[in-house]
Amino acid sequence: MTDLCIVGAGPAGISIARELDGSGIRICLLESGAADVERRVQRQSRGESDGYPVHLLRRSRVRAFGGTLRHPRVRTGGGWAARALDPVDFEARWGVPDSGWPFDHGYLLPYYERARRVCGLAPRGPADEAWRPVRGSDVEPTLYQLTQVDFSDVHDTLVSSPNVRLLLRCRAVDFTTDPTGRRVETVTAVRADGSKAVVRPRAVVLAAGGIENARLLLTADAGRGLGNEHDVVGRYFAERLALSVGYVVPYGPGSVRDAGFFDRRGDVSGAIRVVDRVQRDKGFLNCAFSLVPRPAAVATTAVGSLSTLHKAMIRRPLVDGFGARVRHVATGLDHVADFALSRVVARPRVLVVRAQGEQAPNRDSRVTLGSRRDDLGIPVARVSWRMADTDIASIATSLGVVDAALRAGRFGFVASTLDRDPATLVEGAHHHLGTTRMHADPRKGVVDADCRVHSVRNLYVTGSSVFPTYGLSNPTLTIVALALRLADHLRGTLGRG
């Protein structure tokens, strides 16, 4: 007998299983990957994209115990960045349709505290966030914390747990319901050798990642789908926008020294953002800016274009204006040469401004099923990522507020590159958000405030797919906070007393 079947052993699924370890609730944790990252399994993460180019899906997700945090870039980058969402992210904002969560930031705070411990984050005081140039203005300094906790160390704990059964290389492929259609009866999984495992749990949690959660709901019940009565599953897909938006011309060498705040210092790095009050008043989307010291030649169009082409080649997406970018490089070879030389001999003279911003919820940006099928004959996920002009316009307006604050603080001024032609390269940050969003109204969300699918009594979804508004922060700390909250809820509903 199984009380709870959890699909996916990434940070979300593992956090629930670990929290309920020893609770007496009989758990089956299904993970499509192995204990370590195996190349062959990653093929299951292939997908299609037909909107704004999203990073290749098989390179944005990892199937292994520990989930996508086992990505090689997380390890080589020295860990992952953690930051809670801001109070404004939970509010319904004027000017941002469909924004807001069913609860406020204060409600999530105790879960954030627990999540911080799970993620190995040291407590920080306000002094850590002080940055002289922007005190007391419309802009505030903020911190990302960096951690190397990738959840893989929980493997042995779960394997020896009295109530958790971990099935690795075992992929959930279908869910059947009872005759009412309002209760999941079975979860069918396929092992690496092709054999099937059928689980009959009292409750199911999908914790398979921001895209896969939607795909599982769309293909469930022999392809009829689950939880999609109002055509919301897969909609509102968002990425976290990452882009260079300009550069700061510092007023003096002191400013470049002050920019050390933005460097990685031990387990933190700094950023600046427009305060919640201004965002509320003006209807801005949330966004953080960091300053990266670079040689002056980086500010030229030729070097910018070269950088974009390089990124397009190694990572995709290949975006508009390819020919124009090549022309810029060809006609600005002297700037490119200056840049190459200045990296070797000169001190940095400008501070490149990098933005990490949120998108507004957009119903037309979505995950559907693709035309290709995977090795088990199941349609792959197709991502139609949409970006609204207003998403970038909001970053531009926030940048104007930052510019005013930096001038007032005698730090420097911002030269924006957002209106360059061809347009600035905007990339996603591999954060897959919103596809099974949380909303009290079943017509506007797939899950309710308890993360339970509106139309299926014993089916829950957790992870970044439930975020109804996205904020600027990297998602995993919030994913873990929500998972711990769901674990408490499940302890209450499934508890074996």
Ligand X SMILES: Cc1cc2nc3c(=O)[nH]c(=O)nc-3n(C[C@H](O)[C@H](O)[C@H](O)COP(=O)(O)OP(=O)(O)OC[C@H]3O[C@@H](n4cnc5c(N)ncnc54)[C@H](O)[C@@H]3O)c2cc1C
Task: Give the interface with ligand X as residue ranges (CB under 6 A).
Answer: 7-13, 30-33, 60-61, 63-64, 67-69, 71, 73-74, 80-82, 171-172, 207-209, 212, 216, 430-431, 463-464, 474-476, 479
Q: How far is the CB of 424 from ligand X (least distance, A)?
A: 21
In whole angstroms, the minimum distance from the beta carbon of 190 to ligand X comes to 9
Using the minimum distance from each CB to ligand X, give the nearer residue, 296 or 472. 472
Residue 146 beta carbon to ligand X: minimum distance, rounded to whole angstroms = 8
The minimum distance between CB 240 and ligand X, in angstroms, equals 9
Q: How far apart are CA 282 and CA 179, in angstroms?
A: 50
What is the closest distance, in whole angstroms, from the C-beta atom of residue 465 to ligand X in the complex?
Answer: 8
Closest CA to 290 of 373, 158, 402: 402
The residue whose two tokens read 């061809």 is: 422
Between residues 61 and 349, which has the closer beta carbon with respect to ligand X?
A: 61
| Residue among 71 and 366 whose Cβ is closer to ligand X | 71
Residue type, position 477, single letter: L
Smallest distance from the beta carbon of 373 to ligand X, in angstroms?
14
* Shortest CB 30 distance to ligand X, Å: 5
Return the residue nearest ligand X (CB atom). Answer: 10
CB nearer ligand X, residue 80 or residue 111? 80
Residue nearer to ligand X on the CB measure, 9 or 405: 9
Closer residue to ligand X in complex, CB, 216/288: 216
Given the complex with ligand X, which of 172 and 256 has the nearer CB atom?
172
